Each structure stands twice: as structure tokens, then as C-alpha cells.
Amino acid sequence: MIRPAAAAAAVAIILAPATHALACYSLDEEALIHSALPAALPSDLVVAEVEIPGPDVLALYGAGNRARVLRMIQGPDQAGFLTVRADQYGGCSAPFANGTVGLIVGRIVSDDEELVIAPIMVWKHAGFRLSEDPADWRPAVPG
């Protein structure tokens, strides 16, 4: 026999509006690697083609992941490696959902000894492509 309180709770969960975290859990992910770039990007952003040889989600939101620079497209000349360190974890973050080799866009956090960038994430539903409107980017980039 189903208890009335349990039945009411089940109905409330089913009928409740989906939260962002619940909705993106099954429908969307945001990742580091971009499939393509918008027509124009602010000049203070770093754009590079990279390979992340040891992807580690926990390190990404802490000390960062080292990425081998295959080609610097925009930003300071950087031979060798840069560090990718995410500013904030989003409920839909799946940083390596679009792989570990490709285009990455971010803002410079530090360039003392090795370039450190905070990546701008891209959404799976958008084909892992940035919107043309910087207001849609996460984390927001000062403009």
C-alpha cells in the first residue's frame, strides 16, 4: 500500500519545474574544447590549439591541468605548455566532453613562469561553439 505522504512527494517531484542542474544533467554539458570560434573575439583573450595529455577534472578546478600548446592563435607567444585552471564549477560541467585536443579560449590569470588561463566553457547543445554574444559566455569575460 502506498502511503499518502510518499505518493504526494513523488507527484511533487514529477510535476516540479526542472532546475538548471537537473535539466542539464541529461540534456547538456559544457566543455573546454571548442569545435569552432566566433567571427571576432576580444583581443585580451588567449586562443590556442592544445592537447591535454593527462585530463583531471579535480585538478582543473584546483591547481589546473597542463596543456601542450600545438599552435597559439591569439595571445602571448607560448612555446611548450600552458596551464588551464577553471574559475568555477558549474552544475553542467563536463570539461572533457568534447575531447582533450582542440581549440581552447580563455583569459589570462597569470603569465609569470608559465601562462595560466581560465577557460571559457562551451555548451554541447551549441555544438561546442561560442555564441557570437560575449554576454552568453561562462564565465563572463570582462569586455
The pLDDT value given to residue 54: 87
Instruction: Report the amino acid identity of residue 69.
Output: V
Q: Can you say whether the dihedral through the CA atoms of 47, 129, 135, 63 is positive or negative?
A: negative
The pLDDT value given to residue 16: 39
- Under-70 pLDDT residues of the chain: 1-27, 90, 138-143
The pLDDT value given to residue 100: 94
Locate 93 and state its grid cell: 560541467
The pLDDT value given to residue 3: 60
C-beta atoms surrounding 117 within 10 Å: 27
Task: Quote the CA–CA distance of 70 and 4 in Å, as a whole number.
Answer: 61
Q: What is the pTM of this model?
A: 0.76
The pLDDT value given to residue 19: 39
β-bridge pairing 101-110 and 45-51: antiparallel
The domain segmentation of the chain, as residue ranges, is 29-136
